[in-house]
Amino acid sequence: MSTSAAAGPAVELKDVRFAYRAGQDVLDVPALSVARGELLFLHGPSGSGKTTLLGLLAGVLVPSAGTVRILGSDLGALRSGARDHFRAEHLGYVFQMFNLIPYLSVRENITLPCRLSAARRARLGGTSADAQAAQLADRLEIAGLLDEPVTALSVGQQQRVAVARALLGAPELVVCDEPTSALDADRRDRFLELLFARCQEAGSTLVFVSHDLALAPRFSRTLALGTLNRAAAPRAAGDPEAVGAGARR
For residue 222, give the amino acid letter.
T
Backbone angles phi, psi at 184, to 5 degrees: -75, 170
Is residue 20 involved in binding ligand ADP (CB under 6 A)? yes
Pick the closer one to ligand ADP by CB: 145 or 175: 175
CB 41 within 8 A of CB 208: yes
| Contact pick of 26, 70, 100, 166 for ligand ADP (by CB under 6 A) | 26
Nearest to 54 by CA among 12, 93, 97: 93
Residues 6+ apart with CB under 8 A from 51: 96, 177, 209
Among the listed ranges 27-35, 92-100, 116-124, 186-194, the one in contact with Mg ion (CB under 5 A) is: 92-100
Site for Mg ion, residues 44 to 73, rule: CB under 5 A: 50-51
Residue 31 interacts with ligand ADP (CB under 6 A): yes or no: no
CB atoms within 10 A of CB 234: 12
CA atoms of 76 and 107, how far apart (whole Å): 33
Amino acid letter for position 98: F
Residues 6+ apart with CB under 8 A from 73: 1, 5, 86
Min dist CB 24 to ligand ADP, Å, is 8
- In the chain, the largest separation of any two C-alpha atoms, in whole Å, equals 55
Q: Which stretch binds ligand ADP (CB under 6 A): 44-52, 56-64, 115-123, 128-136?
A: 44-52
| Residue nearest to Mg ion as judged by C-beta position | 51
For residue 27, which of 224, 243, 232 has the smallest C-alpha distance?
232
Considering beta carbons, is residue 54 or 195 the nearer one to ligand ADP? 54
| Among ligand ADP, Mg ion, none, residue 246 binds (CB under 5-8 Å by kind) | none
**Site for ligand ADP contains 44 (CB under 6 A):** yes
Q: Which of 5, 30, 33, 46 binds ligand ADP (CB under 6 A)?
A: 46
> Between residue 47 and residue 76, which ones bind ligand ADP under the rule CB under 6 A?
47-52
Q: How many other C-beta atoms are found inside a 10 Å radius of the C-beta of residue 155?
A: 10
Binding site partner of 47, from Mg ion, ligand ADP, none, Cβ cut-off 5-8 A by kind = ligand ADP
- Binding positions for Mg ion, rule: CB under 5 A: 50-51, 96
- Binding positions for ligand ADP, rule: CB under 6 A: 20, 26, 44, 46-52
